[in-house]
Amino acid sequence: MNKAFTRETDSDHDDEEGLALPPLPPGGKNYITPAGYKRLRDELLELIDNERPKIVEIVHWAASNGDRSENGDYHYGKKRLREIDRRIRFLTKRLEIAEVVDPSLHHGNDQIFFGATVTYAEESGVERTVTIYGIDEADNGQGQVSWISPIARTLIKARTGDVLRLASPAGAVEIEVLRVEYPAPAEK
């Protein structure tokens, strides 16, 4: 059958999206900071308003050139459109269920909640600092952890001075909360 009359599906590529970010816990909220929400929303609008229309124009131009079977611009454009549409669907779903939480509301508090920057010491004496963010915005390389990560789940609701047991692949490790900080509220 001619390839032009077959339906191309996204199903074999949908699994790739799941590898990028962990799924939300069932029935859980998608907690996110205002800055993280803005980044996701800006990316969505960029895809819808700029990138997708440019690719549609390229695909239209490539299709008008005639034979599509060996037309690289057409095939690449169609593939890129599927990627963009998949990302648009993903971002739309994530933003629909987003629960925006402003960490600065807890400024001055010593109890750990979403958005806290926590310094803790392991029993070996090593000090680590992590900031608890949403799963769509956490960057482990920057010392940011998702609120569903084991370290964040161990730390949440603890206070400065608390000694906690963190389950790790090497076994349970004791950690002590040394410092809890939140960003200062924005001046209005």
Average the pLDDT over 174-184 and give the result.
94
Beta-strand relationship, 117-122 and 171-181: antiparallel
* Greater model confidence, 169 or 91: 91
Under CATH, what is the fold of the domain 28-100?
Helix Hairpins (1.10.287)
The whole-angstrom separation of Cα 152 and Cα 35 is: 20
> What integer pLDDT is reported at residue 25 of this predicted model?
61
Asked if residue 31 lies in contact with residue 97, where contact means CB atoms within 8 angstroms, the answer is no
In the chain, list all ranges with CATH 1.10.287.180.
28-100
Asked if residue 160 lies in contact with residue 83, where contact means CB atoms within 8 angstroms, the answer is no
pLDDT tens digits for range 28-87: 678 999 999 999 999 999 999 999 999 999 888 888 887 777 778 888 999 999 999 999
Beta bridge partners of 121: 127, 176
> Could you identify the residue written with the tokens 């389950």?
167
pLDDT tens digits for range 135-153: 999 988 899 999 999 999 9
pLDDT confidence bin for 14, thresholds 50/70/90 = very low
> What integer pLDDT is reported at residue 28 of this predicted model?
64
CATH of region 103-181: 3.10.50.30
Asked if residue 146 lies in contact with residue 67, where contact means CB atoms within 8 angstroms, the answer is no
In the chain, list all ranges with CATH 3.10.50.30.
103-181
For residue 37, give every residue at least 6 positions away whose Cβ sits within 8 Å of its Cβ, in sequence order, or none.
95, 98, 100
